[in-house]
Structure formats: structure tokens, C-alpha cells
């Protein structure tokens, strides 16, 4: 059974919360952790003898923030069915396996140990692409291209905190969890499931059910390991029984791999390129100010129409002289559906979980909604 957050104000006993952009920002780091620590497409099973003690959504959020492991190795499968057409010529780029994860099925292997050793391998029918981080060495290797790029990470000071945080920033994991749940105001039902199995490990599942009929997203499920509290899987559904995006462990061990797993010697015949070293440094006050100004500039350039799950972002298309005249890009845009209305005319990309319109007058509108919502936003 699902254990559901309760709130006295809700007529059906479930806590109804509204999904705003801060909550989406919370999901992004979670997905990033999955990308670095292993992901995979696995079957979900419920088993009474493996059911974990019930935990609330707030408790699970705190557990994830406090999770720590010394290392892991995992075999991964990712599947995406977002309805994005193939971009002509994309397969011919170096390391394209690393940038093609937005569609199709992909197998990955991930390993990390401590803070200075990590390895990600992306497998395809044409070969393998590896990213290897080992102490002061960073390698990117493509078996298909028979090429490797090496960078040295030179010693440098790490960014240091000055001991102060903005007053609105969470000071504890518990406070951060409350911020996340408060940011999800009443158009999402949040519940937890304590009887799922992922990669043969007992797991909890945080379940987000949008109550906004305008969004294409019907549910998001996030599996969390019952022992380590590490994220195991993310599933996104868009109306059907099968997820349109799924990423989670197929097999995982939380025992640190041996050091030899992170050693890389270019195979014979590999072309090696030595790139500029990476030198970490502590950001200066001016660096922080410039970063804040750039972020503010971006916010001013993007108009958000609506709220929550059905919010639409409208912005001007950047003028990029290096790509705007590309024949491949124009061919991609040309295969999209031509649309028009009182807002103007343009091309429509109908995804399974999102829609996007590129207008002829240089605007772009994107949202987790049906095209009609984009047209309304463009007309404002």
C-alpha cells in the first residue's frame, strides 16, 4: 500500500501541494546524482516480505540529502521516449554517445571511489565512450573514433564558504525538505511507497501525482535505496502505463571498486590530444557578482506564463552566427509541423512529455503542456 502524507485541509486525506519551479530545481540534482552514480531500466516488483517501515516524504528527502557512500559500481540501462526527432548529422560528432542520451535505450557502467576517482562508460552498437577521473588526471576516450583527450587537474584552492548564507537558504536537511514540500503547493499529491524492489534492493518510492489537467506529466516516481538512501531510479509518466523516461540501477554494489578500475592507458593506435589543464580556484567577490548578474540577465530574458506544472517559458532565440545558418539545423526545423494562429506562425515539436514552438519571428515557447497552452502564452 501507499502511505500518504496527510493534511487536515485536504478533503481526501492526501496532502495536495503545488509543483513550482523550485521543486523542479530539486529534481535536477537528484537526476544528476543518478547520472554520475549509475542508472538503469529495471522491473519494479512489490513484495510483502521485503516491505520497509513506512517513511514520510519529508523523511525521505532528509535521508537523500544525508546519504553518504564511500564508493559504488553499477551497470545501467536508460530509456527515453520523449518524441524528439533525430537531428541530422548528430551521430557523426565526436563522443556523440555522451550527448545522445535524450532518446532511445542506452547502457552505461558507473564506478566511483572516494572523492577523486570516478569512471563513466557509455556503450553503443558502434563502440564505447569513457570519462575517467583519477586524482589529477581526466580522460575522455572514444573507441569508435580511436581518440582520447587528456587534461591535468592542477592543485588549486577549493571554493570556501565565508561562514554566512542568505537568510532564505535552508540551514539543515530538515529545513530544506520542508522548503521542497512547501514549494509544491496544492496541485500535486505526494505519497510514498515502501514496498518496491529496484536492482534487487528494497527501496522506498517518492510519488508525485500532478493535479493540473493542463500538463502532459501524469506522474513522477523516485526510488530511494532503503539501506543507503541513495537514489536508485527516476521514472516520468505522460498518461500511459509505460514511462516516457526511465533511469535507474540495473545492478549496483556499494563496495568501493579497486584502484585499478580507474587506471587508463590509451589502447594501441589511439590518437591522444593533450588539452589545457584545469586549475580550480576560489571565486572572488567579483566572480560572484558577475555570476549573479548573468543569472539575472537570463531571468529577464525569459517570460514565465502560468504557474506550476503548466507554466510556459517564452524567450527570444539567441542569435548564434555559428549555427543559425546550419543546413543540418534547418533540415531539423523543416521536418517539424508548421503551425499558425493569432500569435503568429512557426514550427511545433510535439514531445511525449513536453511541447515546444519556434516562431518565425524568433521566439521559442516551451512547457510540459499541450501545444494550445504554448499558443496562449505566445499571444500574451
Which tens digits make up the pLDDT trace of 253-298? 999 999 999 999 999 999 999 999 988 777 888 988 998 899 888 8
pLDDT digits (tens, 9 = 90+) for 178-194: 877 777 757 888 899 98
The pLDDT tens digits for 61-76 are 899 989 999 999 999 8
Res. 35: pLDDT tops 80: no
Number of helices and strands in the chain (H, E): 7, 20
DSSP string, 51-110: PPPP--HHHHHHHHHH---SEEEEEEEEEE---PPPPTTGGGSTTHHHH-TTSEEEEEEE
Q: In this structure, how many other beta carbons lie within 10 angstroms of the beta carbon of residue 377?
A: 24
pLDDT-above-90 percentage for the chain: 50
User: Length of the chain, please?
Assistant: 380
Neighbours of 334 (CB within 10 A): 10
pLDDT at residue 121 in the model: 93
Q: Could you tell me the pTM of the whole model?
A: 0.77
Helices 21-37, 173-183: crossing angle, 10 deg rounding: 120
* Band of pLDDT at residue 87, cut at 50, 70 and 90: low
CA distance 318 to 302: 12
Q: DSSP string covering 2-34, please?
A: EEE---TT-TTSS-EEEE-HHHHHHHHHHHHHH
Considering the domain delimited by 2-159+171-274, tell me its CATH architecture. Clam (2.50)
Provide the pLDDT confidence category of residue 9 given band limits of 50, 70 and 90. very low
Higher pLDDT, 298 or 358: 358
For residue 114, the 8-state DSSP code is T
- Asked if residue 15 has pLDDT above 70, the reply is no
**Cα dist from 370 to 165, 239, 311, 338, 353, whole Å:** 40, 12, 11, 16, 9
Q: Output phi, psi for 343, to 5 deg.
A: -85, -15
Sorting pLDDT into bands at 50, 70 and 90, what band is 237? very high
Whether the CB-CB separation of 248 and 31 falls below 8 Å is answered with: no
For the chain, the domains span: 2-159+171-274, 285-379
Model confidence at 363: pLDDT above 60: yes
pLDDT band at 162 (very low <50, low <70, confident <90, very high): low
Amino acid at each position: 500500500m501507499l502511505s500518504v502524507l496527510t493534511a487536515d485541509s485536504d478533503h481526501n486525506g492526501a496532502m495536495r501541494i503545488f509543483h513550482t519551479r523550485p521543486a523542479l530545481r530539486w529534481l535536477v540534482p537528484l537526476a544528476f546524482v543518478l547520472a554520475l552514480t549509475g542508472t538503469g531500466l529495471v522491473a519494479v516488483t512489490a513484495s510483502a516480505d521485503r516491505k520497509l517501515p513506512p517513511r514520510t516524504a519529508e523523511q525521505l528527502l532528509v535521508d537523500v540529502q544525508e546519504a553518504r557512500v564511500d564508493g559504488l559500481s553499477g551497470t545501467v540501462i536508460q530509456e527515453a521516449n520523449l518524441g524528439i526527432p533525430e537531428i541530422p548529422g548528430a551521430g557523426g560528432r565526436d563522443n556523440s554517445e555522451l550527448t545522445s542520451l535524450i532518446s532511445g535505450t542506452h547502457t552505461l557502467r558507473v564506478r566511483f571511489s572516494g572523492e577523486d576517482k570516478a569512471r563513466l562508460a557509455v556503450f553503443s552498437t558502434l563502440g564505447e565512450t569513457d570519462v575517467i577521473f583519477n586524482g589529477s588526471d581526466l580522460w575522455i576516450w572514444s573507441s569508435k573514433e580511436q581518440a582520447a583527450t587528456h587534461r591535468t587537474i592542477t592543485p588549486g584552492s577549493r571554493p570556501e564558504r565565508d561562514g554566512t548564507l542568505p537568510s532564505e537558504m535552508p540551514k539543515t536537511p530538515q529545513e530544506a525538505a520542508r522548503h521542497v514540500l512547501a514549494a509544491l503547493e496544492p496541485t500535486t499529491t505526494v505519497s510514498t511507497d515502501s514496498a518496491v524492489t529496484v536492482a534487487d534492493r528494497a527501496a522506498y518510492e517518492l510519488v508525485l501525482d500532478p493535479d493540473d489537467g493542463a500538463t502532459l506529466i501524469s506522474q513522477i516516481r523516485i526510488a530511494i535505496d532503503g539501506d543507503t538512501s541513495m537514489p536508485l531510479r527516476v521514472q516520468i509518466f505522460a498518461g500511459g502505463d509505460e514511462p516516457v523516461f526511465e533511469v535507474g540501477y540495473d545492478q549496483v554494489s556499494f563496495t568501493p571498486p579497486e584502484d585499478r578500475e580507474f587506471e587508463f592507458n590509451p589502447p594501441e593506435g589511439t590518437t591522444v590530444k593533450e588539452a589545457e589543464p584545469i586549475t580550480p580556484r576560489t571565486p572572488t567577490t567579483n566572480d560572484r557578482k558577475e555570476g549573479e548578474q548573468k543569472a539575472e540577465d537570463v531571468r529577464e530574458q525569459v517570460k514565465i506564463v502560468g504557474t506550476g506544472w503548466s507554466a510556459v517559458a517564452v524567450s527570444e532565440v539567441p542569435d548564434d552566427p555559428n549555427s543559425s545558418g546550419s543546413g543540418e539545423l534547418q533540415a531539423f526545423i523543416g521536418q517539424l509541423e508548421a503551425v499558425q494562429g493569432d500569435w503568429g506562425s512557426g514550427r511545433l515539436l510535439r514531445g511525449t512529455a513536453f511541447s515546444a514552438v519556434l516562431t518565425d519571428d524568433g521566439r521559442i515557447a516551451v512547457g510540459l503542456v499541450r501545444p494550445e497552452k504554448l499558443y496562449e502564452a505566445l499571444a500574451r
